Amino acid sequence: MSQSLALEARNISKAFGPVQALSDVTFGLRKGEVHALVGENGAGKSTLMNIIDGILKPDAGEILIDGEKADIVSPEKAQRLGIGFVHQEIALCPDISVAENISMAATNRRRAFLMNYAETRARAEAALNDLGVVDPHARTGDLSISEQQIVEIAKALTLDCSILILDEPTAALTEREAVKLFDIMARLKQRGISIIYISHRMAEIFAHCDRITVLRDGRHVCTKDVAETDPEDIVRRMVGRHLGDLYPPKNAASATAGDLLAVENLSDGERFADVSFALRQGEILGIAGLIGAGRTEIALGLCGLRPTVSGKVRLDGEDITPQTYSQSIAAGVVYLSEDRKGAGVFVDLPIAANVSALAIEQVSRKPGLVSRSREQAQAARLGAALKLKCGSLDDAVSTLSGGNQQKVALAKLLSVGPKVIVLDEPTRGVDVGAKAEIHRILRDLASRGTGIIVISSELPELIGLCDRAIVVREGRIAGEVTGDDMNEEEIIRLASGVGQKNGRGA
Amino acid sequence: MSAMEEISRPQPRFGIQWRSLGNMRELGLVLIILALCVVMSFASPYFLTWTNFRAMLLSFSIEGIVVVGMTVLLIVGAIDLSVGSVVCFSMVVGGFFFLAGLDPWSASLLAIAACAAIGVLMALCVTRIGLHSFIVSLAFMVIVRGLCLAITGGTPLSLFSLPASFKFIGQGTVYGIPVVIIIFAVVVAIFDFLLRKATVFRKVFYTGSNEKAAEYSGIRTNRVKFFCIVLCSTLAGVAGVIYMARFGAATPTFGLGMELNIIAAAVIGGASLKGGSGTILGAILGMALLSVVSSSLILLDVSPYWQDTIRGLILLAAVSFDHVLHNRKKAGAPRPAGQ
């Protein structure tokens, strides 16, 4: 185990309030290896990486770099120890040039009073040299997502890092761009750089990594050489239980039910075109696709939150194509945003005021005055139905955990008695327990006749929860999967557009 | 949906209200003002007299009407720097039409309408073009001031011929209480009630607290902002008409710098420049604090050259004190898990 480890994390534990995110996790990274770190969302991968990068402090345990105990108190300290972290969300300044972004840390450390643009440019060119064609003078915001990712990697490399953490780097990339990235990884490996590679994609891991560590529910499950194992084994260890136990039973009868909501040839003239699909009675319909494929835009379009140029939305056969979101709410179609804090809830306002926001008139008396007792009763009723855990309904939403915040957002939608609920990443950032609870609530609603459409980037969730899923690629429906066809491989194939032979037209 | 109907009994909670954080803040302000009054009553025998008290109330009553509008605007997340100019515009337009032969009541209505029109123009710039209210109102502060000077030719309009029945608004008393103070009290009572209860104003809180989330709740946030901007300008117009009745003149330089006093009062009273919070009562208390300080400085015979500096320092101290108090409370709340 101690054979030339570039980095070792020993017996790391970390808790967030009542949630134990990591317990006694040990992880070793050999020099010059590509080490995959896998696990379901919430397994503790990000927490572990944030501890290694000095963003979070562990409750217990220690980190060794090159065999020496290191006290990583901040990301800056991590940088000085040679740890580069490319985050899943791109964290670049969009308005400045690529070169300036790459040199940001160096500029920060610089003692001189004036900028040295020649040096900045030279450093950027040197860093980008290996990585491919990105113009160092370009405005960063004008680059594609994959180019921005390359800039992120270049930025990490300029810090003389010997350890590089890549957090789901291919999530936003097309197939071709991903190949380029693996090329870069191979070259970095030759230079002796050790890479921690976080991904959900088994094919990539088995093609490009040396070892795999599996985390589950905050615990270390196993570390194996790629040669010693296979994808099925890893997935089983990741999940650690049968998928059937994780998700509520599906509704087989929905396969033959009539259409509740029908979207016909919907286009916004920009991000999606000619989108047609139907949601059946009692069904949970999934929308899959890569990040940036247009899933969210389609959802926004069908709810009137984003202008569309053509197409129709029918509910029970009646044309309800909304121009504004309030029309959509009136018709009974509501939307839950993927960005909970940014657009889902009012974090500084009381719980009760959040729940009533969608139709404040429902809890008001005649001349337009809010009735406190009705508002409280509404929040108490919906909160109880969703098993919301809170102190007082007058508390601000910011005092709740992620899962309970999401329940408040759900209660808000349910307050209008919707016919169809469109949920965008409904379980993002909520813990495993609350996640299962939200799944149960959705299934319960579906079985009572509310149509549910779920967008999720987490394929196991989509497959476990939904009766059927449509796959979106580059703003169009690439196919539809049900039953046995609904597996990761098939969905990724449709989403990335590789080999159309089994794809079923929508 | 029967699961949804499983009604758990609502837990009645008294005392803590929609503005529970605000209540704390208001109490703190009342204490500061009382403390200042006690100190001043020893320092100057004149301080605790009805005459001085009445003078203080009078001095901020009319401005207080504008503070109401500004507070609503701050809650929705906007700001209006043009209020001083608009108050003046109202006086000048009212005076102009009166001198042109209109009866003072119709002239006043026209003046208020003109101010509302200014508000509509600003609101269009904010909601249609998408400019920030700070820069729009900064431009209109100058534009409207220029209009005042142009209409009057730079010299004050003398309106001594205003009928007594009209002057009564600004100068009269009912049972010894100045009418101005009564109007002010009524406006404050109405808006304080509406802000806490009316659905329209609840939408103001939603929009100011998180505009995106408000949009995603089907609220037409641009309409809400439009309404608030026009409301603020209209109330400034109302204040201008009262000033006209009070002074019997329309000076084209009146109200210079008034906006700072008004914004300061609202912020001392707990309105956030980021939107989403604020109360009418708090803003009025902020106004009262500023007024007590001003009065004290005059009674203590502090050099006028130093008065502004001291006022500024007190503003800074009050806001800092409040901020520290507020943040300590927030730190007690549990942090959401995750990340």
SS3 content of chain A, % helix, strand, coil (to 5): 40, 25, 35
User: b/e map of A260-281 (b: 16 or more CB within 10 Å)?
Assistant: bbbbbebbbeebbbebebbbbb
> Which of A225-229, A234-238, A283-287, A388-392 bottoms out in mean pLDDT, i.e. has the lowest?
A234-238
Model confidence at A432, pLDDT cuts 50, 70, 90, reads low
Q: Hey, what's the torsion of the CAs at A105, A109, A112, A116, to 10 degrees?
A: -20
Does residue B311 sit at the A interface (CB-CB below 8 Å)? no
pLDDT tops 70 at residue A140: yes
Nearest one of A385, A436, A393, A372 to A414, comparing CA atoms: A385
Q: Do B339 and A344 touch (CB under 8 A)?
A: no
Average pLDDT over residues A412-434: 86
Please, are residues A310 and A266 in contact by the beta-carbon 8 Å criterion? yes
Q: Do A16 and B335 touch (CB under 8 A)?
A: yes
Question: Where exactly are the structural domains of chain A?
Answer: 5-241, 245-332+418-496, 350-412
Please, are residues B271 and B22 in contact by the beta-carbon 8 Å criterion? no
pLDDT tops 90 at residue B319: no
> What is the C-alpha separation between A284 and A250, in angstroms, rounded?
9
Give the gap in angstroms from C-alpha B337 to the nearest C-alpha of chain A: 5
pLDDT of residue A91: 77
pLDDT tops 90 at residue B11: no
Structural domains present in chain B: 52-326 (1.10.3470)
pLDDT of residue A163: 92
Show residues of chain A in contact with B271, CB under 8 Å. none
Does residue A148 sit at the B interface (CB-CB below 8 Å)? no
pLDDT per position as a tens digit, A88-102: 777 788 888 888 888
Does residue A45 sit at the B interface (CB-CB below 8 Å)? no
Q: Which structure tokens are listed for A262?
A: 């029908």
Give the gap in angstroms from C-alpha B275 to the nearest C-alpha of chain A: 11
pLDDT tops 70 at residue B338: no
Q: Do A381 and B337 touch (CB under 8 A)?
A: no
Q: Which of B4, B12, B199 sits opposite A360 (nearest CB)?
A: B199
Chain center to CA of A444: 24
Q: Which structure tokens are listed for A168?
A: 């789901």
> What is the C-alpha separation between A394 and B17, in angstroms, rounded?
7
Q: What are the residue ranges of helices labelled H in A110-199?
A: 117-129, 145-157, 175-190
pLDDT of residue A44: 85
Q: What is the DSSP letter of A257?
A: S
> What is the C-alpha separation between A93 and A198, in angstroms, rounded?
24
pLDDT tops 50 at residue A506: no
Does residue A308 sit at the B interface (CB-CB below 8 Å)? no
Give the gap in angstroms from C-alpha A50 to the nearest C-alpha of chain B: 8
pLDDT of residue A175: 67
pLDDT of residue A13: 93
| Chain A nearest-CA residue for B212 | A343
Q: What is the ipTM of this complex?
A: 0.75
Average pLDDT over residues B257-261: 89
pLDDT of residue A106: 73
Give the gap in angstroms from C-alpha B297 to the nearest C-alpha of chain A: 38
pLDDT tops 60 at residue B192: yes
Cβ neighbours of A295 (radius 10 Å)? 27
CA angle A95, A100, A103 (to 5 degrees): 140
End-to-end CA distance of chain B: 34
Chain center to CA of B33: 19
Give the gap in angstroms from C-alpha B180 to the nearest C-alpha of chain A: 28
Phi-psi region of A56 (alpha: psi -120 to 50; beta: other; left: phi over 0): beta
Q: Please identify among residues 18-57 of chain B the ones whose CB lies closer than 8 Å to any CB of chain A.
A: 18, 20
pLDDT tops 90 at residue A420: yes
Show residues of chain B in contact with A430, CB under 8 Å. 338
Q: What percent of chain A has pLDDT over 70?
A: 93
Does residue B218 sit at the A interface (CB-CB below 8 Å)? yes
pLDDT of residue B23: 56
Length of chain A: 506
Q: Which CATH fold would you assign to the domain A5-241?
A: Rossmann fold (3.40.50)
Size of interface A-B (CB pairs under 8 A): 154
Per-chain mean pLDDT for chain A: 85
Q: Do A364 and B199 touch (CB under 8 A)?
A: yes
pLDDT tops 70 at residue A337: yes
Show residues of chain B in contact with A16, CB under 8 Å. 335, 337-339
Show residues of chain B in contact with A47, CB under 8 Å. 339
Average pLDDT over residues B56-80: 93
Q: Do B339 and A429 touch (CB under 8 A)?
A: yes
pLDDT of residue A41: 64
Q: What are the φ and ψ backbone dihedral angles of A318, each rounded to 5 degrees?
A: -95, 135
pLDDT of residue A157: 79
pLDDT of residue A336: 93
Q: Please identify among residues 271-290 of chain B the ones whose CB lies closer than 8 Å to any CB of chain A.
A: 276-277
pLDDT per position as a tens digit, A465-489: 999 999 998 889 999 999 888 888 7
Q: What percent of chain B has pLDDT over 70?
A: 88
Dihedral sign, Cα of residue B315, residue B318, residue B321, residue B324: negative
Model confidence at A127, pLDDT cuts 50, 70, 90, reads confident
Q: Do B216 and A344 touch (CB under 8 A)?
A: yes
Model confidence at A431, pLDDT cuts 50, 70, 90, reads low
Q: Write down the CATH number for the domain with range A245-332+418-496.
A: 3.40.50.300
Higher pLDDT, B118 or A339: B118
Q: Do B8 and A305 touch (CB under 8 A)?
A: no
Average pLDDT over residues A184-194: 89
